[in-house]
């Protein structure tokens, strides 16, 4: 366990600078093109794979950084480059976290490499939890998984929505109901292997922002997966279901469900993504304010502009510190007694929306056009207060934690 630090060490700085170079030289020049195309930027994912950025080894190194700062540092730099392209590069990570959080060692070793593919044949993965009638309200999930004991197979039926890489993924991780009477505690996660019959892509969504990232429905029609594709295994599931039923009868606290475990593990990382986007917009606005001359002087010499930039810089730093604290706590095994993970995601998400809007205001008419990147950054930033738990859900989680 590393000690909490307010500064990256030399090794982390070296990785940060390497990622920053990739973000500046490869991602940013292509950002506007892939935003307009609204397609997965496979050539850039391929380039990231060749450099070792899109790989299991790289994310494992960051994930197991003893300080806890590896993942948030990486997310901030990549999303500083461009949020849509970055999400295409890191989107597989949510499915990988789902397997790491709930799978056996054998499942981790078997499926996570298949999520990324090879350097010359990259693949992506999808984590499928949300449904048309079950977003934040995971208890309303309808996708069912029924065990066929004779064949040792699980049969999945339902429709998932808002799935990053949904339908184009090599491996899908699907959360489904195995015991409807237990609500969200009766859920389990399943691996759907490549080319499994019955899984298809539904509607592909045309989005306001992060348009280089593929988002679609995933339709499951009598999808049969082997018993070993149940994350954690059936013995563990049966034990968890039995405990949940017992606690439900006793009126006690329920056990945690698989989807929520995945989201809680990833919330500080989403906060880091938001920090990266906010920082990018702030830097554009700062440079513009230093060079844009009005009434005979740079506009940064006007107090109204300078104070906005001061607030933006302060809020970005505060958001980063909340993210770093939550990331360190998770790595150190310290419980989020005050929902510190949700705090980091909530604050950083709101800062990203506010800072990108202020950047547009500072650039004036130029900021409203696609000639400058802040317009795209503002569209991208809107997603942070929505996915992996809306800001309203984060406030609910925090309020319940502090009320205990």
Q: Are 66 and 331 in contact (CB under 8 A)?
A: yes
Q: Is 388 a catalytic residue?
A: yes
The token pair that represents 270 in the structure block:
């989403």
Q: Point out the catalytic residue in the list 131, 350, 375, 388.
A: 388
Distance of CA 159 to the CA centre of its chain: 21
Distance CA 184, CA 356 (A): 36
Query: Mind telling me the catalytic residues?
Result: 388
């Amino acid at each position: 366990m590393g000690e909490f630090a307010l500064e990256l060490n030399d090794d982390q700085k070296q990785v940060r600078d390497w990622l920053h170079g990739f973000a500046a030289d490869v991602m940013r020049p292509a950002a506007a093109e892939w935003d307009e195309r609204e397609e997965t930027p496979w050539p850039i994912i391929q380039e990231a794979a060749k450099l070792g950025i899109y790989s299991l080894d790289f994310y494992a190194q960051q994930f197991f950084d003893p300080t806890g700062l590896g993942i948030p540092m990486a997310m901030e730099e990549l999303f500083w480059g461009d949020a849509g392209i970055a999400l295409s590069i890191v989107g597989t990570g949510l499915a990988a976290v789902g397997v790491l959080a709930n799978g056996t060692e054998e499942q981790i070793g078997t499926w996570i490499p298949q999520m990324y593919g090879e350097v010359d044949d990259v693949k992506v993965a999808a984590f499928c939890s949300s449904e048309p009638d079950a977003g934040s309200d995971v208890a309303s999930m309808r996708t069912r998984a029924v065990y066929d004991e004779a064949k040792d197979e699980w049969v999945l039926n339902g429709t998932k929505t808002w799935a990053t890489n949904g339908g184009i993924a090599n491996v899908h991780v699907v959360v489904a109901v195995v015991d409807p009477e237990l609500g969200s505690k009766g859920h389990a996660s399943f691996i759907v292997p490549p080319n499994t019959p019955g899984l298809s892509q539904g509607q592909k969504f045309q989005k306001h922002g992060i348009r280089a990232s593929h988002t679609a429905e995933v339709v499951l029609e009598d999808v049969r997966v082997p018993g070993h594709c149940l994350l954690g295994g059936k013995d563990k599931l049966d034990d968890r279901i039995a405990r949940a039923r017992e606690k439900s009868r006793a009126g006690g606290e329920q056990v945690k469900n698989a989807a929520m475990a995945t989201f809680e593990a990833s919330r500080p990382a989403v906060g880091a993504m938001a920090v990266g986007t906010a920082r990018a917009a702030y830097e554009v606005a700062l440079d513009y304010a230093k060079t844009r001359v009005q009434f005979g002087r740079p506009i940064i010499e006007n107090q109204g502009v300078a104070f906005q930039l001061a607030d933006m810089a302060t809020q970005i730093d505060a958001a980063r510190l909340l993210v770093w604290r939550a990331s360190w706590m998770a790595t150190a095994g310290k419980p989020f007694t005050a929902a510190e993970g949700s705090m980091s995601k909530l604050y950083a998400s709101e800062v990203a929306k506010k800072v990108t809007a202020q950047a547009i205001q500072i650039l004036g008419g130029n900021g409203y056009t696609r000639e400058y990147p802040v317009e795209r950054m503002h569209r991208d930033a809107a997603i942070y207060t929505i996915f992996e738990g809306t800001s309203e859900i984060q406030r609910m989680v925090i309020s319940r934690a502090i009320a205990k």
